[in-house]
């Protein structure tokens, strides 16, 4: 990956501020004895994200970086671990039939592996965002130009829309058979809409918090995976991201069906609205659609913020 966001304008990747740190002291090492404090600060600042100037506690965060890393490592570990316990408990209560629980877990693994395959297709060309939340966070932190944001979001949303059409055609006969057998009061959206986009299992307020937390964890962990100072190998990264999606899904994603991705939700929501000839995908559950569409970018930005500020690896 290029360490200069302007060096290769055709590739949008996640780039972090580079620091030269002493592993013994946790402090910035002196590259030149005669380097002034101002020059040292300038040597640490990122081309677009000027941490040294924007954050007065920069020197303290360098000294405390090991404690920050331990805190956030434990935060991710325990949030996902306890979330897994809670998800298993509540799913078991909701679905006494073990087959239903197995089906839920299969869906979670399927989505995680699907992300992995998609990343193998596009990561080497576009950076493998596949999510407007990721693109938004990268633009916000200056690692890709804002002028690319509309094109990325359109491509992602349109790709999800076309995928929904393909899946509908693949299962066309089954959808038609299911539509013919709907019970009075049932709709295709309420019964089968979850195939295409996410619907809540809790109140909208809880789901809004759930989407924010999910995307915060998502971006926080992805930043560590893609940080060349932490993990220089590229080949395993799609697998790691897929496993991350699975982990979030089985731990803290239950309430909002682990959307985390406006394109993944909005494109299929538009498609299902057209296919089912109904506005239900946008109106049911108190117009729930706005939560998976607008909340994830803020969680993504917050996750990227946490990593950029508090996680400071040794420079490789």
Q: Which of 274, 279, 110, 290 is nearest to 198 (CA)?
A: 290
Q: Is the pLDDT of residue 292 over 80?
A: yes
Both tokens assigned to 245: 């999606």
- Helix axis angle, 262-275 relative to 280-287, nearest 10°? 120
SS3 148: helix
At 159-210, the pLDDT tens digits run 999 999 999 988 899 899 989 999 998 999 998 898 999 999 899 999 999 9
At 168-177, the pLDDT tens digits run 988 899 899 9
pTM score: 0.73
CATH topology classification for 66-310: Glycerol uptake facilitator protein (1.20.1080)
Rounded Cα distance, 76 and 71, in Å: 9
At 69-128, the pLDDT tens digits run 767 766 776 677 676 667 766 776 677 777 777 778 888 888 888 899 888 888 888 888
Provide the pLDDT for residue 64.
Answer: 79
At 127-139, the pLDDT tens digits run 889 999 999 999 9
Rounded Cα distance, 113 and 6, in Å: 32
- Which H helix or E strand runs over 226? helix 204-226
Q: How many CB atoms lie within 10 A of CB 159?
A: 16
Provide the pLDDT for residue 30.
Answer: 41
Provide the pLDDT for residue 298.
Answer: 95
Provide the pLDDT for residue 84.
Answer: 67
How many Cα neighbours within 13 Å face the side chain of 156?
27
Rounded Cα distance, 68 and 161, in Å: 40
User: Would you list the domain boundaries of the chain?
Assistant: 66-310
Rounded Cα distance, 294 and 284, in Å: 17
Both tokens assigned to 97: 């039939």
């Amino acid at each position: 990956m290029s360490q200069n966001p302007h060096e290769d304008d055709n590739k949008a990747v996640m780039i972090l501020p580079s620091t030269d740190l002493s592993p013994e002291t946790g402090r910035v090492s002196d590259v030149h004895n005669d380097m002034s404090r101002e020059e040292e600060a300038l040597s640490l600042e990122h081309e677009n994200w000027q941490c040294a100037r924007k954050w007065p506690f920069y020197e303290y965060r360098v000294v405390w970086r090991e404690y920050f890393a331990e805190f956030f490592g434990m935060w991710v570990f325990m949030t996902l671990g306890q979330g897994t316990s809670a998800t298993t408990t509540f799913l078991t209560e909701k679905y006494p039939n073990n087959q239903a629980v197995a089906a839920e877990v299969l869906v979670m693994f399927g989505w995680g592996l699907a992300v992995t395959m998609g990343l193998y297709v596009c990561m080497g060309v576009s950076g493998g965002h596949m999510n407007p939340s990721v693109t938004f966070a990268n633009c916000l932190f200056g690692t890709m130009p804002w002028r690319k944001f509309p094109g990325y979001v359109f491509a992602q949303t349109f790709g999800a829309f076309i995928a929904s059409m393909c899946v509908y055609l693949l299962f066309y006969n089954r959808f038609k058979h299911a539509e013919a057998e709907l019970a009075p009061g049932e709709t295709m959206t309420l019964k089968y809409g979850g195939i295409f986009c996410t619907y809540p299992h809790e109140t909208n307020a809880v789901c809004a918090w759930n989407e924010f937390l999910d995307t915060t964890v998502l971006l926080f962990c992805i930043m560590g995976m893609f940080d060349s100072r932490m993990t220089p190998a590229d080949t395993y990264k799609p697998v790691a991201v897929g496993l991350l999606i699975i982990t979030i899904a089985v731990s803290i994603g239950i309430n909002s069906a682990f959307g985390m991705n406006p394109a993944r939700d909005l494109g299929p929501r538009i498609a299902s609205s057209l296919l089912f000839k109904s506005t239900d995908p946008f109106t049911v559950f108190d117009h729930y659609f706005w939560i998976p569409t607008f909340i994830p970018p803020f969680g993504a930005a917050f996750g990227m913020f946490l990593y950029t500020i508090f996680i400071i690896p040794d420079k490789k």
